[in-house]
Structure 1
Amino acid sequence: MNALVSLTRDLVSIPSHDDEAAAGEYIRQWLETNTDARVTRDDHGNVIARKGRGEESLALVGHHDVVPPDDTQVDSDGEYVVEERDGRLYARGAADMKGCVAAAMLAFRDADPARELIFASFIGEEQGGVGCQAAIEDGFAPDYAVVGEGSTGYSTPGVTDVAVAHKGRRGSTIVAEGAAAHASEPEAGANAIYHATDAVDVVRDLDFPETTVLGHEMSGSVAVTEIDGGSAWNVIPERCEVTVDERTVPGERAPLDRVEAIDGVTWRVDQDLPPMACGDADFADAVLDAATAAQDGAPEHVVKPHATDAGWLAKAGTECVVVGAAEPGEAHTADESVSLAVLERCYEVYERVAESWAGR
């Protein structure tokens, strides 16, 4: 426990919301000093280490970037504030997700793996997974992965579950174009807001995407979240934009392109973070067995509502699950913290999976 707390404190003390370089270099040097693994820090800033041999590989995956800290999370010198109290470590990045990066580093060091074992910490997860995408484009392709994002407290408070699926996010914009005119003569123009509201009616009537993953039902969502149009109270608007947030599920998407059947309306995708679904029940069960052995509670297979780098890995062909210490609603908050006992539990899960999962 002392080594895990110390390593977590070191990682969360390193600012990495604007620049991940220092955190990545710390991880690289630690791995080179404390393991005999083959360690690289690629041109993007991702840190990847490999040890063991086997036809198939298992990766322990995290990210070392964080969202910008709250004012209370930095001191007068601009350094991150780190506090330990009541069995928890409070700091930006403690829950999301440097605590589990530290647990994965130690598990990677200590495990005698049943196959090739990979440790990977990516940059840019908070910017849409740019580091993970770059690594995949460079050939990163583990057969299996345990991603250390939060999975604690989903089935029961305090229990660390195994997420076998998560939703993705597709953010898009509906653009309605018309023709400007003086508002006293509306028939002389074409009201873009009217076209946009017709498109909103189409979105409102769409069914939410649904699917089932390893017996778990998943339902996405579609919602209009912003609307922007018009230039003055006495001008018929010539343009209006509508933002749509869609939470996607594996294999299913809402048919948002239907809005383009409306005159003057086009639709564009601005961000598309993929969902994740584990397709290997044996792997999911093996990780659940490790999670069960590491705690007194009864963990379950669960579904996460948030996108992670597991989505990019799954899209590229890696069988993924998510196991981590963060609890729902914990990440990105002004009082972000992580349970040190749960971090120790995650370390044990990672080490057990690395040593027991030999595939088929």
Structure 2
Amino acid sequence: MDASDSADRALALTEALIARASVTPSDAGCQPLIAEHLTAAGFDIEWLPRGDVTNVLATRGRSGPLLLFVGHTDVVPAGPVAGWRSPPFEPTRRDGHLFGRGSADMKTSVAAFTTACEAMAATPAAVEGLRIAVALTSDEEGPAQDGMRAIAPILAERLGTIDWCLVGEPSSRTTLGDTIRVGRRGSLSGEISVTGRQGHVAYPDQADNPVHRLAPILAALVGTQWDSGTEEFPPTRLQITGIDTDTDAGNVIPGRASARFNLRYSPATTAEALQERITTTLETYAPMAGIHWHHSAVPFASDAGPLRQAISDVIEDRIGSAPIANTAGGTSDGRFIAPLGAEVVEFGPVNQSIHQIDENVAIDAIGQLTEAYEAIIRRLARIARRPD
């Protein structure tokens, strides 16, 4: 399979995946389609469903170091369809780009890696000594409880040592390959609630305004410097994500107020330390305030290793410049694989349009990504065949 064939096949597969409206947690038939392609490429398929979530593990090879590709087939809702220039689940080629929900996040990556595996199957000697696995879920954009989080222990049991994990998240900023992710920040959310006494705005002495008690708490939290970050991680940042009261009336002092916030935190601190500092702030300004926590991710970072080197070399050789390696962005399913001991690196399409109306990916980039994935597999296979 030459480069043009791979590019055409990856484009066609990406279009077929976009046409399946896999709004989380629905897979809408994406994974069975991928499984057909991987079965033809010599992979064994195991289904790992949990409730409404579809998960699949595909494996090829019996011995040697392991490369695991992690991806998701679910997408976020399309939003107001009237705002799209073309229907979100009808893949449309326009101005050198492919438009459709999931085109960038992350059906292109899934299609590109699948096509790369098909190409490798046509030249089995090129991947001799390397085991390859593909793990896909339809629960990444949603609660992320029944997807990679749930099946990670099964992956460890089935696969044994996972040497390298390539996550197909859209890591690139403006051009394909300009950025790769080598870790992610932790995520800690909270909701503060303050109870007062409802009353008429004209008679504040007969009420107790909970918003006035909540405001200094929020001001203190926003003004806090949590840490200075690390060499690979930016400083921890807090963002207020919502403020609510129990009334919409303009002449009523509310009886209850709440505020939601999120911290993206670095390894320079811990979730427990952040919780302790915030609890102390609450006790200072409003001892009666309550708080509910949701800790969804711990930070992780992979040391530079063969996978990062292979990806960087391939990008520089084929795209023209070495990528920036950082830990920016939101959470990813890499956080469930890193604790298993794998070197985790994320490399995928440009992320400028993800989760937006008219999400799209450059058509040329689909072929480039497929070729890059093929080259990465070949490089890792050569490493796998080296004598100890």
| Alignment pair present for 1:201 and 2:201 | no
Q: Please give the secondary structure, in 1, of the residue aligned with 2:75.
A: coil
List alignment gaps of at least 5 residues for structure 2: 1-6, 121-126
The structure with more strand, counted as a fraction of residues: 1
Matches within 5 A, 1:337-356: 337-356=360-379
Equivalent residue, structure 2, for 1:244: 261
Deviations along 1:125-155, whole A, 9 cap, x unmatched? Answer: 111433111211434473321111112236x
Tell me by how many angstroms 1:179 deviates.
4.2
Equivalent residue, structure 1, for 2:37: 30
| Alignment pair present for 1:115 and 2:133 | no
Specify whether residues 284 and 75 from structure 1 end up closer, same or farther in structure 2 by C-alpha distance, changes over 3 A only.
closer
AA aligned to 1:49 is A
* CA–CA distance in structure 2, aligned partners of residues 79 and 301 of structure 1: 32
Alpha-carbon contact 2:177-2:315 (below 8 Å) kept: no
Alpha-carbon contact 1:163-1:302 (below 8 Å) kept: yes
Alpha-carbon contact 2:19-2:89 (below 8 Å) kept: yes
* CA–CA distance in structure 2, aligned partners of residues 210 and 6 of structure 1: 46
The structure with more helix, counted as a fraction of residues: 2
Equivalent residue, structure 1, for 2:279: 257
Specify whether residues 356 and 322 from structure 1 end up closer, same or farther in structure 2 by C-alpha distance, changes over 3 A only.
same
Specify whether residues 204 and 48 from structure 1 end up closer, same or farther in structure 2 by C-alpha distance, changes over 3 A only.
same
Sequence identity percentage:
24
Match of 1:9 among 15, 25, 44: 15
Tell me by how many angstroms 1:184 deviates.
6.5
Deviations along 1:257-276, whole A, 9 cap, x unmatched? Answer: 33332311122224524444
AA aligned to 2:38 is L
Matches within 5 A, 1:70-219: 70=79, 71=81, 80-111=89-120, 112=127, 114-130=129-145, 131-140=147-156, 142-153=162-173, 157-180=175-198, 186=204, 190-212=208-230, 215-219=231-235
Alpha-carbon contact 2:312-2:322 (below 8 Å) kept: no
Equivalent residue, structure 1, for 2:58: 49
| Alignment pair present for 1:299 and 2:323 | yes
Specify whether residues 9 and 289 from structure 1 end up closer, same or farther in structure 2 by C-alpha distance, changes over 3 A only.
same
Tell me by how many angstroms 1:81 deviates.
1.4
Alpha-carbon contact 1:324-1:346 (below 8 Å) kept: yes
List alignment gaps of at least 5 residues for structure 1: none
* CA–CA distance in structure 2, aligned partners of residues 175 and 200 of structure 1: 12
Match of 2:347 among 323, 326, 330: 323
Q: Please give the secondary structure, in 1, of the residue aligned with 2:327.
A: strand
Higher alpha-carbon deviation: 229-238 or 103-112:
229-238
AA aligned to 1:147 is V
AA aligned to 1:203 is L
Deviations along 1:311-349, whole A, 9 cap, x unmatched? Answer: 232245432111001x23211222111122222222233
Match of 1:279 among 303, 310, 328: 303
* CA–CA distance in structure 1, aligned partners of residues 93 and 298 of structure 2: 35
Equivalent residue, structure 1, for 2:71: 62
Alpha-carbon contact 1:276-1:320 (below 8 Å) kept: no
**TM-score when normalising by structure 2:** 0.80
Q: Please give the secondary structure, in 1, of the residue aligned with 2:290.
A: strand
Tell me by how many angstroms 1:50 deviates.
0.7
* CA–CA distance in structure 2, aligned partners of residues 79 and 226 of structure 1: 29
Q: Please give the secondary structure, in 2, of the residue aligned with 1:272.
A: strand
* CA–CA distance in structure 2, aligned partners of residues 188 and 258 of structure 1: 29
Specify whether residues 5 and 197 from structure 1 end up closer, same or farther in structure 2 by C-alpha distance, changes over 3 A only.
same
Specify whether residues 114 and 152 from structure 1 end up closer, same or farther in structure 2 by C-alpha distance, changes over 3 A only.
farther
AA aligned to 1:25 is P
Tell me by how many angstroms 1:72 deviates.
5.1
Q: Please give the secondary structure, in 1, of the residue aligned with 2:282.
A: helix
| Alignment pair present for 1:336 and 2:359 | yes
Equivalent residue, structure 2, for 1:312: 336
AA aligned to 2:324 is E
* CA–CA distance in structure 2, aligned partners of residues 73 and 354 of structure 1: 40
Q: Please give the secondary structure, in 2, of the residue aligned with 1:311.
A: helix
Deviations along 1:3-47, whole A, 9 cap, x unmatched? Answer: 111111111111111521411222222222x22111122223112
Match of 2:243 among 205, 212, 227: 227
Q: CA RMSD in A?
A: 2.9
Alpha-carbon contact 1:278-1:284 (below 8 Å) kept: no
Alpha-carbon contact 1:259-1:266 (below 8 Å) kept: no
